[in-house]
Each structure stands twice: as structure tokens, then as C-alpha cells.
Structure 1
């Protein structure tokens, strides 16, 4: 099994997981746009039990466009967004792909919350959902 590692900009919080994530996707919700400081957030999903975290990240409780709770987890020292946990997917964690030491092997397979996407963002041939998939 392969081990994937990542962490925040300053190195105060590091994480790792074994094996492949359940999925790689792009979220276009307005809250992810604000939290990432970008037009979207590229994320990997995996069972929370598979994630090993070293350091003391901070949790900010948000309520996303769906109205459901979203815990946004970030480094308290440098502010790097690291993970999210969402009420609509209990037991899962969503890793911000940009925090991986090497994100090159994780291409997104879908886009969601596209009703909030920036007009200049192209989704290509990937499945796209106006809100949460499913």
C-alpha cells in the first residue's frame, strides 16, 4: 500500500494516509471559494479513520450553502486550509489537494456545486452537479 503525506505551509501540521482516496473532486461552493481564496477547492475524500494527523489544527464550524454543518480544519500558525468534515458525509474527511506533498497523481473525477462556479471555469467532460452529488 502506498503512503501519501501532506501538511500546511509552515509544517506545524502534517498528515498521512495509506492507500487510495475514495475520490478526487472539485467543489465550487461559495464557502470553499472564500476559504481557499480561489475559484474552487480541489479535494480528496477518504474515511476519517484512515487519516493520521500530527500537530494541532484549528476547527472553524461553518454552515455551507446546503445549510449543513461543515468543519473547516486549518493550521493555527500559518492559516493553511487542510481538511473539511461535512455533516452530509459522516465518517469521511475531505483533504485540500493543494496541501499534499505531491498531488500529481490525483486528478478530479467530478465537479459539484457548479451553480456557484465562476463563469470562466470549465468543467470539461467530467460529471458536474449543481449541488452535492447524489
Structure 2
């Protein structure tokens, strides 16, 4: 069953085909909790949950042409990437980076249900008071 979510104003809808991750009983799609500095600033929180999906698994429906892009050159990895957001409500949508060619990083805040985390990345940026996500690998930088 595909995951379908939208930005706050519903101008942009994103569907992720999770069929290759699905078992008979449930989706085995896993998210990643990212603590990189620009994800933190973009989300307005201590990090953001994302999934990294093949481009052909992600369908973006944007009939109003609301999706805008910002070239992020201040990344922790040093690699510039495109951060896509809704130009109407400002909601973060996706990230595209040459580090993951052929992949789309999808912001999981778009969806009502977020798959459980498989790992935390950029843990070097976590706040001292933040607990680790139980049972997942904590990676200092990028996986």
C-alpha cells in the first residue's frame, strides 16, 4: 500500500510506492532520523525524519506549480543539494543530492504515519539532552 502525504496547504501531494518494502502483514519501509544542521533549521526542530527512495518510487502531484527549490550550499557533508518546499505554505517536501544519484529524500512529516527509524545520522549535531532512538545505529555523519 503506497504512502501518500501532502504539505500543509495540500497544494503538493507526494506518494511513495512502498511495494518493494511491503510484507504480507505490513510495510517494512524504514525512516532515517537526520540531525544535520540544515535539516534542523528547515524543520524547526532537533532533526527530521526522512526516507530515501528510488526516484521512480516517488510521485509528486503539484497541479498549482507550488513546489519551489533552494540550493543548499551550507551542508554538513560539503555537497550542495536541492531542498524542495511548497512555495505557498513553506512545508519541506524533498531533498535531492548527488550523493544519492537516482534517489529522492522525502520528508516524513508529510505523512500521517511515519515508519520506524532504522538509523540516526549526523548524531554529532544532537543536543546533549536528546535521547538516542532505541535499537537503531547512531552514525556521526552521513551513512
Q: Same fold (TM over 0.5)?
A: yes
Q: Which residue of 2 aligns with 1:92?
A: 103
Give TM-score, length-normalised by structure 2. Answer: 0.85
Instruction: Compare CA radii of gyration and give the structure with the larger one.
Output: 2
C-alpha displacement of 1:45? 1.3
Give TM-score, length-normalised by structure 1. Answer: 0.90
Runs of 5+ consecutive residues of structure 2 not aligned to the other structure: 22-27
Runs of 5+ consecutive residues of structure 1 not aligned to the other structure: none
1:62-98 Cα offsets, whole Å, 9 max, x none, are 0211110221110000000011112211111111111
C-alpha displacement of 1:22? 5.9
Is the CA contact 2:30–2:116 (under 8 Å) kept in the aligned structure 1? Answer: no
Q: Which residue of 1 aligns with 2:83?
A: 72
C-alpha displacement of 1:103? 1.6
Q: Which residue of 2 aligns with 1:109?
A: 118
- Give the whole-Å Cα distance in 2 for the aligned partners of 1:18 and 1:27: 22
CA RMSD of aligned residues (A): 1.4
Instruction: Report the count of equivalent residues.
Output: 130
Q: Which residue of 1 aligns with 2:54?
A: 47
User: Is 2:130 the counterpart of 1:121?
Assistant: yes
C-alpha displacement of 1:119? 1.4
Q: Which residue of 2 aligns with 1:8?
A: 7
